[in-house]
Each structure stands twice: as structure tokens, then as C-alpha cells.
Amino acid sequence: MSAGLNLAQLDAVNHLGGPCLVLAGAGSGKTRVITHKIARLIQAGLAAERIAAITFTNKAAAEMRERAGHLVGRDAKKVVICTFHALGVRLLREDGQVLGLKQQFSILDTDDITSMLKDCGGTTDAATARQWQWTISGWKSAGLTAEQAMKEARNEDERVAAAIMERYQERLTAYQSVDFDDLISLPLKLLRDYPEVREKWQQKMGHVLVDEYQDTNATQYELLKLLVGERARFTAVGDDDQSIYGWRGATLDNLKRLPQDFPALRVIKLEQNYRSTSAILRAANNVIGPNPKLFPKTLWSDLGEGEPVRVVAADNEDHEAERAVARIQSLRANSTHKEWRDFAILYRANHMARAFETALRRANIPYKVSGGQSFFDKAEIRDLCAWLRLLVNNNDDPAFLRAATTPKRGIGHTTLGQLGTFATQYKLSLFDALFSHSLPSAVSSRAITALHEFGRTVNDLEYRARHTTGHEAARTFLTDWLKDIGYEQFLYDSEESEKVAAARWSNVLDFCDWMAGRCGGQVADEAGAQIESERKTLMEVVQTIALISTLSEREQDQNVVTLSTLHASKGLEWPHVVLVGVNEGLLPFKTDEADSDLPAEVLAQRVQEERRLMYVGITRAQRTLMVSWLKRRKKGRESVPGTPSRFIKEMALDQATVKEDPREKLRALRAEFAQRAQDSAATKPSPTAP
């Protein structure tokens, strides 16, 4: 048990009886404490299913489950390892009925919400709807009802948003649907207002562990407090210097409140960094230096000085990408870390990936864009999800609208508009309205035939889904059923290029496989033996889909270079990191000049959060770090002069900017040719991104 843990980590792992906070800098083994503590709790006799470990992303959850698996074997499968939102789904599925929520509730995605808000506010402008969404989400995550929001509204815009929030909430109830904020606020309500539910969950949760605690928001903290109750058996680990989600409502107050709310709190600090060389760590410590100190920390590494951090000035975006790729090729040729997965290119904003994708593709280097367009955002997958959501919850009107029109089946917008008016008048869901005796008074007879046929198809599929296991449903029935509704043909009809249609159909089949895997049943374990994994119903899987942003399972074993935003890189590590676009205006990020109207204190806080983001970026690197900035950068359609970010100066590197080394370019070219020769001999690797 003590293998691979230092004394402070052991202390945290062995503190089982009460509240514990591990507060430490990057790479000091906080996440490692959580995985080892799961094993320790099981060893001490706590049933695995009574342990909950809360991670920041689904990907982090999958990784933690795998690591816990190495320590405790199959018991790891029983531990609840998930995000706060996924935990919210569990609570609502088990006990949401007391709030009037059916077990088969739907979770709406951002697009559904935008179109619902457009409808509620009578606008066709998506930007306005998204602004409302942002405001309403802020209110909801602060725990306000529509009525309270109206009272708190400070101007006309907010009053309009509060009025729309009321209509929006009514629709959510009618559709038996929830949004992401509800996944925290409704469980909170459940635990706060229903003592018997609260007691049940407090009994159930023997110990709760929270990773990346610094990025929790106020409602998540309240939820945690209610989950652990008076016994306060929890372990939170975090780093105030890595708090990078303030813009989404995360608050460092949660760190400050912990010792006040739990006087018995044991605070443990970790000081040794096991990830990075001293040169990298020094740059990181220097950067974070100017930020106000909430909790002073020291961080050291005994991995040796290592290579100096490099700073590169690139002429423009294309040149920067070229140099990043040359660096990767040269390191790969000369370092012990030769796998593509050992490299990451990190940037501030999603759109910055493009130049690097082009350069990597040209060099024939496989890569993935992490946090880019999600598999689940692809139109064909959203179509299938709409169908599945409708089968599971007939009241899900947004899903109804998508399924009824995909593939086309003679139900047009006029018909849907008439059906909608009728359903609102009689307070019915669209699906229930289909079968109403009075419907013929509202809709033409030709449309009625098409609507009834659609209703029958849904009923038929639902019947079949209910009479098969989730696994079977996903394996055979999904593909059969897709034939029944003519989905494959629909893809070929709607795409000009057969190749594109085939790729989309192949995504559909991948999705069916993924569903089947998720529904449990017979699966192969690591050694290839067939074992029985936890069975899930179709409903359970459908509800989880809304929470997943990537097909994380598929990503794990890919030997590819990672392209990622700084935000999405949190908690991860790579031997070699290239941090790009480190310019004033990009990092720290500046949206527009209007920001300068903001009070100086707000602007200063923004820069502090950006500085933490830079700190997160630097501390992802284990062995080498290259930081580059643009002498000229694109701003809209223009090319404007660029200046290096203040954070580069703050790293206080005792070296000049590295000039482009012609030998490196030559080495990179040689590596590229060698790679091409090797690839044409073997199978050709292809980038995984679209």
C-alpha cells in the first residue's frame, strides 16, 4: 500500500475518519492520493460501492477507474467514479420522483436549449438566445429560481431574461427534461428538502473524494456538504493556483470555507513535484509568483535541472506550426520518448488548432484534437440520440422534433407548428398530442396519417427496446431498426459525396458498438477472457450520453500527438509540451476593447486567472517545454503585429530567445523523410481528427 507514496501522501491516504484537504501545487501527486485512498478505504473494509470519487471530466473518471483497477482489481468497477453532473443523474434517477421527475427524464444539450430559448423569447437570433442561456445558467448555478432572479434583476435585459427563465422552466417540467445546471441544483434540492432522501444518501456514501476541488462552484460545494453530512468523511484535493474556471462560476471561496465549515479538517500539503524537471518547475513557480497568495506553497523536484525551457519567436501562425512540428520530429529522433503520445501542443483557444493540424498532416504525423468537435456532436449521432431519447422519454419534445423530421417522413414544419399549438393548448407533450381524438380539428388529414405512422414506429421500437436487454438492443436491434427507419439510405440521399456518407454511416456503426459496450454483458477483459460486466439498461446509457463530451474510451490507446486547449489539459501530463500562441491578447486573453470599461479590480482578476492558466500549461510538461509567440498574428481577417506575453518575461528564463536552428530544420526534414519511407513500407497512419 505504501509503495510509491511519500509520507505526506501516506498521511492523507490513511486519514480515514474525518474531513481531509490536500492542498498542493501541480504534479505533487494529488490525484495519486485519491486513487490510492480508494484502495486504502476498500482495504479498511469499506464496501467499494460506498466510495465515490468525483473528477472534473469524464475522461479523468475513466483514467482514474483504470488506475484504481490496477490497485484493487475488479472492485474498482463498483466504486462510483464520475463527475458531479453524473452523480447528479444517479441521484435524480433514484429519487427525482419526489420532485415530480420521471425516472426516464431527458438531459437537454446546448443546442436543444438554445432553440427552446429562442422559442420562449420569440426570437430567431441564436446569439440573443445564447446570451439568455448564459445569464439563466448563472442564476441557476447560484441556486436562484425564476422568481428570485426577477427580484435580483438589475436592468431591463436581466428582467427580460428572468421572464424567459420562467417560461423555460415550465417547458423543462413539461418535457420531463433537465439541463446541466439542474443536474446539480435538483439533487441539492432533493437532499436539502427531503430528510429521508438525505439520510439515505448520507448512509450510502461512506467516503467522498473530490479531485480538482479548486474548480467547484457554490452549488457543487453545497451538494458535497449535504452528501457527507455531519460525519464529514471526505477528501478534497486541489490547488488554488490552478483554478481556471472562475468564468464559469467556480469559486475559491470553497477552499476558504472548508476549514470554517469543518473545524476538524485535516489540511495536508504536498511539496515534492514528481512530474517535471527543475528548469520547468522554476519557470512555473516564477510565473505564478506575482499572483496573490491564498495558501503559500513550495514545490521542488529532484528530477534534475533538465533541458532549459525554450522560447521561440515565430513569424506568423504557419511558421509557428512548422517550428512546433520540427521540434517534435527532432525530439522524437533524439529523445528516449519516441511515441507520438509523448507530445502535446497546447493553446488558449480552440480555433488555434487549425494551423497545427495542417502542419501535422503535411508531416504525416498522427494527432487528435482533444476537446475539439465531439463525436457526440456529429449530426448523425445527434439524430440517433434524439430517437433514443424519445423512446426512453416520450415527453421529450426537442427529441420528438428531431426524430420526426430525420429521416424525412412527410411531416413538415407547418404540421409540426400546428401540432405544437394544439399540444400547448391542451397541455400535452407532442407525442401524447399525436393520439388525441381532437387532433383532426387542428391538423390536415394527410398530415395526421404521417404523424400516426411516426407514432406507431416509435411505439413499436419502444416495445422492442423494453423486451430486450440493453446490450442486445444496442448490438442487433439498433442496426436493424436503423434499417427499418431507412437511416442509412437517408445518409446516402443527403450527402453528395458517397465517401462522406459512408464515413457518417461508419460513425453510426461505431456508435452502436459503443452503446453495446456501455450496456454491459459479455466483454473481453485485459487478458482477452470473456467476463460479465455490469449490465446497464438502454435508459441508463441514454442518460449518460448527454454527459459525455468525447468517446474517451476510444481515445486512450491512441499513439498520437495531442492538440489541446489549456483548459482541457488540466490534470494531464506529457514528456514534451509545446505551448503556442503565448502572445499578449491571446494569453492573457483579451476579447475586445470594451473590456477596458470594467473596474480595474475585475481586469486584474482576469489576468490572474490567465496567469493560472499559463501555470497549468507549463506544469503539464515532464521533460521538455517549448513556448512560442507570434511576431505577427491574425486578428479577424487582418494580420497585426504581435508582442510576447508578459508571462514569458515572468518565467524569468536566463536565456535569449532560441533562434531557428537550420540543423534542427534539416533534422526534422530527415525525420520526415524517414517517417514517410517507413510508413509507405507499413500501413499508412492517418490522422484521427476529421
Among residues 666, 656, 640, 545, which one has the least CA distance to residue 583?
640
Among residues 314, 329, 406, 315, which one has the least CA distance to residue 360?
329
Residue 612 partner contact from ligand ATP, Mg ion, none using kind-dependent CB cut-offs of 5 to 8 Å: none
Q: Which is nearer to Mg ion, 224 or 388 (CB)?
A: 224
Residue 315 partner contact from ligand ATP, Mg ion, none using kind-dependent CB cut-offs of 5 to 8 Å: none
**DSSP run (H or E) holding 417:** helix 413-425
Copy the grid coordinates of residue 159.
Answer: 428582467
Minimum distance from CB of 299 to ligand ATP (Å)?
Answer: 10
Minimum distance from CB of 220 to Mg ion (Å)?
Answer: 17
Residue 348 partner contact from ligand ATP, Mg ion, none using kind-dependent CB cut-offs of 5 to 8 Å: none
- DSSP code at position 116: H
Residue type, 216: T
Q: How far apart are CA 269 and CA 6, in angstroms?
A: 12
For ligand ATP, the binding residue among 20, 21, 29, 512 (CB under 6 A) is 29
In the stretch 25-44, what mask flags binding to Mg ion with x, by CB under 5 A? -----xx-------------
Residues annotated as catalytic are 30-31, 211-212, 242, 620
Minimum distance from CB of 272 to ligand ATP (Å)?
Answer: 7
Q: Which is nearer to ligand ATP, 114 or 301 (CB)?
A: 301
Residue 259, preceding peptide bond in cis (omega within 30° of 0): no
Q: Residue-wise over 233-252: b if at least 16 C-beta within 10 A, else e?
A: bbbbbbbbbbbbbbeebbbb
Query: Candidates 22-30, 155-163, 359-367, 487-495 — which segment interacts with ligand ATP by CB under 6 A?
Result: 22-30
The backbone torsions φ and ψ at residue 238, rounded to the nearest 5 degrees and listed phi first, read -170, 175
Residue 57 is a binding residue for Mg ion (CB under 5 A): no
For ligand ATP, the binding residue among 21, 32, 61, 133 (CB under 6 A) is 32
For ligand ATP, the binding residue among 12, 23, 26, 92 (CB under 6 A) is 26
Which residues in 247-276 contact ligand ATP (CB under 6 A)? 274-275
226 Cβ partners below 8 Å, 6+ apart?
Answer: 188, 191, 192, 198, 201, 202
Residue type, 98: V
- DSSP code at position 474: I
**Widest CA span of the chain, in angstroms?**
81
Number of residues that bind Mg ion (CB under 5 A): 3
Residue type, 393: N
Query: Candidates 3-11, 394-402, 577-585, 602-610 — which segment interacts with ligand ATP by CB under 6 A?
Result: 3-11
Q: Which is nearer to ligand ATP, 6 or 103 (CB)?
A: 6
Q: Which is nearer to ligand ATP, 238 or 521 (CB)?
A: 238
Q: Which is nearer to ligand ATP, 141 or 301 (CB)?
A: 301
Helices within 572-661 (DSSP H only): 600-618, 646-650
Rounded to the nearest 5 percent, the helix, strand and coil shares of the chain are 55, 15, 30
Q: Which is nearer to ligand ATP, 245 or 629 (CB)?
A: 245
Residue 619 is a binding residue for Mg ion (CB under 5 A): no
- DSSP code at position 347: E
349 Cβ partners below 8 Å, 6+ apart?
Answer: 565, 586, 589
Residue 28 partner contact from Mg ion, ligand ATP, none using kind-dependent CB cut-offs of 5 to 8 Å: ligand ATP
Minimum distance from CB of 286 to ligand ATP (Å)?
Answer: 17
Residue nearest to ligand ATP (CB): 29
Which residues in 554-593 contact Mg ion (CB under 5 A)? 571
Residue 319 is a binding residue for ligand ATP (CB under 6 A): no
Residue 5 partner contact from ligand ATP, Mg ion, none using kind-dependent CB cut-offs of 5 to 8 Å: ligand ATP
Beta bridge partners of 346: 564, 579
Residue type, 395: N
Which residues in 78-97 contact ligand ATP (CB under 6 A)? none
Residue 27 is a binding residue for ligand ATP (CB under 6 A): yes
Residue 249 is a binding residue for Mg ion (CB under 5 A): no
**Torsion, CA 311, CA 312, CA 313, CA 319, rounded to 10:** -160
Q: How far apart are CA 135 and CA 246, in angstroms?
A: 15
Minimum distance from CB of 401 to ligand ATP (Å)?
Answer: 41
- DSSP, collapsed to helix, strand or coil, labels residue 96 as helix
Residue 32 partner contact from Mg ion, ligand ATP, none using kind-dependent CB cut-offs of 5 to 8 Å: ligand ATP
Residue 194 is a binding residue for ligand ATP (CB under 6 A): no
Number of residues that bind ligand ATP (CB under 6 A): 18
Residue 419 partner contact from Mg ion, ligand ATP, none using kind-dependent CB cut-offs of 5 to 8 Å: none
Copy the grid coordinates of residue 668.
Answer: 526534422
Among residues 452, 456, 458, which one has the least CA distance to residue 391?
458
**Torsion, CA 63, CA 207, CA 105, CA 384, rounded to 10:** 10
Catalog residues that contact Mg ion under the rule CB under 5 A.
Answer: 30-31, 571
Q: Which residues bind ligand ATP (CB under 6 A)?
A: 4-6, 9, 26-32, 239, 242, 274-275, 571, 573, 619
